[in-house]
Amino acid sequence: MNIHDLSKEAVLKSLVTSAKGLSEKEASKRLHEYGPNEIKEIRKKPLYHRFIAQFTHFLAVLLWIAAGLCFLSEYINPGEGLLSLGIAIVAVIFINAVFTFIQEYRTEKAVEALKKLLPFNVKVYREGELKEIGAGNITPGDLILLSEGDKVPADARVIESNGLTVNNAPLTGEADARPRSHEAFNGDYLESPNLVFAGTHVVSGYGRAVAFATGMATEFGKIAHLTGGVQERLSPLQKEIIRVTKIVAVIAMTTGLFFFTLGFLVGRSFWHNFIFAVGIIIANVPEGLLPTVTLSLAMGSQRMAKKKALIKNLTSVETLGSVTVICTDKTGTLTQNKMEVERVWTFERQQSAVSSQQSGIPSPLMGEGEGASYDMLMTTAYLCNNAVFDGEKYKGDPTEAAILKAAREAIGDIKAERLYEIPFDSDRKRMSTVYKWEVGSKKWEVKEKDLSASTSHFLLPTSYLSFSKGALETVLPLCTGILAGNKVEALSDDYKNSIMQAYHSMMDEGLRVIAFAFKEIPPNPPLVKGGSIRFPTLNKGGQGGVINSDLESDLVFAGLMGLEDPPRPEVPDAMRKCREAGIKVIMITGDASRTAAAIARQIGLVKNEPVLLEGPEMNVMPDSILREKLLSPEIIFARMTPAHKMRIVSILEDEGERVAVTGDGVNDAPALKKANIGIAMGISGTDVAREASDMVLLDDDFASIVNAIEEGRGIFENIRKFITYIFASNIPEIVPYIAYVIFKIPLPLTIMQILAVDLGTDMFPALALGAEKPSKDVMRQPPRSPDEKLLNFNILSRAYLFLGPIEAIAGLSGFFYVLYSGGWQWGTMLTSDNIFYLQATTACLGGIVVSQIGNVFACRSLRESVFRIGFFSNRLVIIGIIAEVMLSAFIIYHPLGNRIFNTAPLGLDVWLLLIPFSIVLLLAEEIRKWLARKKTGPR
């Protein structure tokens, strides 16, 4: 069946459906027959493959080599204890693999759960009633309503179109909008103008289409079947983590080889040197770093979701922290998107207002019996509108809903036959409709004798009227007349001045101003060969009619409406945070400049006189001048189109800014993709915008963006916190081996005990640090440079040169205290089963564990005192410490723990020696933080 060859009547017949759509029973039957409308994931990597991959990455390969050498050494020279060491290293590989796999799996499931918060819904007709259902429930024969911004849910045949254009880029790669019509087409299937395909996007207009292929039967599904899944690329953060890991691993290998060679020079045996080298390598390798980072990002994204910011890509959480500029819309993001008509202007009402001022009687805002011009304004507002009232509430675009509400309350409901619509367009900034009009169909009539003789074409007994509304600068130039009372008069300069005065007055109050106009179209116009539009429903005889396509010329100006959209109450505080954080906020709006400036002042976006640029100015402005304008501390862009937004974002990024940009329309998608962080609106946003974005605002609130940036900065902070914590314990693990080689003392810490710290006692507090809330001063710091590395000199010096040495002193102090208490003398070597030696190494282990308890509190902030943060403000830290203590108790006091880790129980006197080191470390770090705050000042 070549469905594009058929007429729309034949299409409905062939798919056994009707203009009212399917019945619920039939739809359910077909859904069961054809299956859900979804693209199945082809060749997704099985779980076991992903689990195996955890054993083959760079760190794992290093550990496999070390384990292999241990087993080889045990085979060549048995009895040296290398078998148990090899088994321990293999256990490390398995523990790390399982932990990482579980965290990645949990993260994937968390992201899937978050995506369900934004289901892909579609409007369909079922039994003649318009319903909204999940896209997965679409079945062949369903009648789909398509409108601007929608993503097409299935391959469908268009049966009705009104300015419908579709972007087939997801399917064909051609990014230009293609018009769609319902006419039969005898040509190539994929090029047919009466077909829309799943996964493509509606750019403008609206229409109805019948689904004929769903799921894997669609063109999109066939391509998915051929190509399979696409391998994900590593994010910058993931690459940075791998870079850090490789650097540390290279350092570990180099250090191990160096001291292995040094051991020979001081006369130690090969096996002693080998054990030492393996210990150095394991002590330096950050086995738990990657899973901890993954979990930290996942927890951050879940916290953001609770704050109404849905992150689609985990690594975007961290990217948010480096944003320097936010380009934001006004309506619905900075304001509440709760439109109300506050002021109405017609020339008749202006005259009434003047008379009222002279008499001292106030003129009502709206009321009955205000005359023909007022009624015609409300009629235009009612009929040039796509919002609806369902008996309970108004549905549709908030601006249109507010206008419809005002019109209904003023003149009631109107019944008229809409023949045609020119949809609103972001470039034209207006929309127009055409109606068949019967004089007397409304509650008021215009008497012929009241009409101006020169313009008596207004309201003939049976007329075709076009109604237009939009931005004043696009509507007023199309007008040649104005309705003044019951007369249509020529639009003189005096009238234009009066209109502009009213317009500026409303804008200065922060109102969004919409202009309205209309015109009568002769009932039997001549055929216009160039650019004519045919209305098949115009003549009931089936002949069709022709109306001049120049519907938007020689219009009669009806009046203005000023709508108030109050700012969100939380936005001023969010603006203050942005200012303190060094983030520049740029308003890019389709509203007029005066309205935008008034709102900007109300919310604290501008303090002085900002630079105001409107779309027409930008059209003729070279990039060099625009770059200079963007350097202004306060700038507002008004009357902007999505193309303007794209240009602004591109120039900002060329200047080295990291840009977050908001958008909700289909034409915003390029800017959302271009930006470092694209932010789509969850409530008012289109499917296309949400798909192109990195983050979705579930409440469309600007404050949620600021909260997300704060969380993003906190995530980067947290990664550095637990890196510092993990790396700090490397020093007390390395120093005992260096002392062992240089000073010829018993080895103070065994490899098994190192593993007990790295993959045991350290893990729970490190995970708790990954869940730390952002510090109070995180939004008082300038944005982080994208060139700033995760691991820098400050981090390494704090961990290796300050915190680590204190822990090393604690561990060695415990080690030598136990040895000297047992009568040990310097230079005496002890056997590995000597009770004093076992207790001494256990004391060294205990010193590290105790010191790390103090260190976890020290690492909770980079500058702020833990006494100010509060010891119990992060309950996960307390839980982590409890888990650390319980695991340490098992290792030190349980017989099984003693056998596995070569430990022995310690007396109270040893703990009394070790515990103060935890306090000393914490106090030393508090002094360092105090000096840092004193040097740089408060933030």
Minimum mean pLDDT among 107-116, 285-294, 753-762: which range? Answer: 107-116
781: number of Cβ within 10 Å: 16
Residue 697: the pLDDT is: 85
Residue 111: the pLDDT is: 53
CB of 211 within 8 A of CB of 142?
yes
Mean pLDDT of 695-702: 85
> How far is it, in rounded angstroms, from Cα 803 to Cα 795?
11
- Tokens 């070790």 — which residue? 914
- Tokens 């350097």 — which residue? 631
Minimum mean pLDDT among 1-10, 239-248, 534-543: which range? Answer: 534-543
In percent, the amount of the chain with pLDDT more than 70 equals 82
pLDDT tens per residue across span 202-240: 877 789 999 999 988 888 777 655 444 434 445 566 667
> How far is it, in rounded angstroms, from Cα 268 to Cα 742?
11
- The phi and psi torsions of 19 (rounded to 5 degrees) equal -70, -10
Confidence of residue 110 (pLDDT cuts 50, 70, 90): low
Q: What is the DSSP letter of 550?
A: -
> How far is it, in rounded angstroms, from Cα 418 to Cα 919?
80
Residue 927: the pLDDT is: 94
Tokens of 530: 């160039």
Give the highest mean pLDDT range of 214-223, 459-468, 590-599: 590-599
CB of 281 within 8 A of CB of 252?
yes
Residue 938: the pLDDT is: 53
Residue 143: the pLDDT is: 95
Distances 866 to 855, 873, 937 between C-alpha atoms, Å: 11, 10, 18
DSSP H helices in 308-397? 316-319, 347-359, 372-383
Query: CB-based contacts of 101: which residues, under 8 Å, 6+ apart?
Result: 50, 51, 54
Q: Which residue has the higher pLDDT, 502 or 172?
A: 502
> How far is it, in rounded angstroms, from Cα 499 to Cα 557?
10
Q: If we measure between CA atoms, which residue out of 696, 508, 504, 510 comes closest to residue 603? A: 510
pLDDT tens per residue across span 651-662: 999 998 999 998
Amino acid at 877: V
Residue 693: the pLDDT is: 83
Residue 103: the pLDDT is: 61
> How far is it, in rounded angstroms, from Cα 147 to Cα 140?
20
Q: What is the DSSP letter of 15?
A: T
Residue 530: the pLDDT is: 37
Amino acid at 861: S
CB of 761 within 8 A of CB of 842?
no
Residue 279: the pLDDT is: 66
CB of 882 within 8 A of CB of 768?
no
DSSP H helices in 632-729? 642-654, 669-674, 687-692, 702-728
Is a pLDDT exceeding 70 seen at residue 419? yes
Minimum mean pLDDT among 450-464, 751-765, 845-859: which range? Answer: 450-464
> How far is it, in rounded angstroms, from Cα 838 to Cα 529?
101
> How far is it, in rounded angstroms, from Cα 142 to Cα 28?
11
Minimum mean pLDDT among 525-529, 710-714, 893-897: which range? Answer: 525-529
Q: Is the dihedral of CA 50, 54, 55, 61 positive or negative?
A: positive
User: ∠ CA(843), CA(847), CA(850), 5° rounding?
Assistant: 130
**Average pLDDT along the chain:** 81
Q: Which residue has the higher pLDDT, 146 or 550?
A: 146
260, containing H or E segment: helix 236-265
Tokens of 444: 């008021």
Residue 448: the pLDDT is: 31
Q: What is the DSSP letter of 528?
A: P
Q: If we measure between CA atoms, which residue out of 552, 551, 557, 550 comes closest to residue 476? A: 557
Please pick, among 329, 375, 397, 687, the residue that the annotation labels catalytic: 329
Tokens of 833: 């089963």
pLDDT tens per residue across span 57-71: 776 777 787 778 778
Confidence of residue 455 (pLDDT cuts 50, 70, 90): very low
Mean pLDDT of 790-809: 90
Confidence of residue 920 (pLDDT cuts 50, 70, 90): very high
Q: Which residue has the higher pLDDT, 536 or 476?
A: 476
Work out whether strand 430-438 and strand 462-470 pair parallel, antiparallel, or are unpaired.
Answer: antiparallel
Is a pLDDT exceeding 90 seen at residue 113? no
Q: Which residue has the higher pLDDT, 382 or 265?
A: 382
Confidence of residue 528 (pLDDT cuts 50, 70, 90): very low
* Catalytic residue flag (residue 427): no
Q: What is the DSSP letter of 254?
A: H
| Burial letters 412-446, b for 16+ CB under 10 A, else e | eebebeebbbbbbbbeebbbbbbbbbeeeebeeeb
Q: What is the DSSP letter of 761?
A: I
Residue 880: the pLDDT is: 93
Q: Which residue has the higher pLDDT, 81 or 363?
A: 81
Mean pLDDT of 608-620: 90
Residue 261: the pLDDT is: 83
Confidence of residue 470 (pLDDT cuts 50, 70, 90): very high
In percent, the amount of the chain with pLDDT more than 90 equals 33
Residue 119: the pLDDT is: 58
Model confidence, pTM:
0.69
SS3 content of the chain, % helix, strand, coil (to 5): 50, 15, 35
Confidence of residue 532 (pLDDT cuts 50, 70, 90): very low
Is a pLDDT exceeding 80 seen at residue 76? no
Q: What is the DSSP letter of 799?
A: I
Is a pLDDT exceeding 60 seen at residue 623? yes
> How far is it, in rounded angstroms, from Cα 578 to Cα 606?
12
End-to-end distance of the chain based on CA atoms, in angstroms?
71
Mean pLDDT of 611-625: 91
Q: If we measure between CA atoms, which residue out of 91, 87, 105, 108 comes closest to residue 55? A: 91
Residue 539: the pLDDT is: 34
**Residues 645, 648, 649, 650, Cα dihedral to 10°:** 120
> How far is it, in rounded angstroms, from Cα 298 to Cα 715?
10
> How far is it, in rounded angstroms, from Cα 167 to Cα 656?
31
Residue 545: the pLDDT is: 37
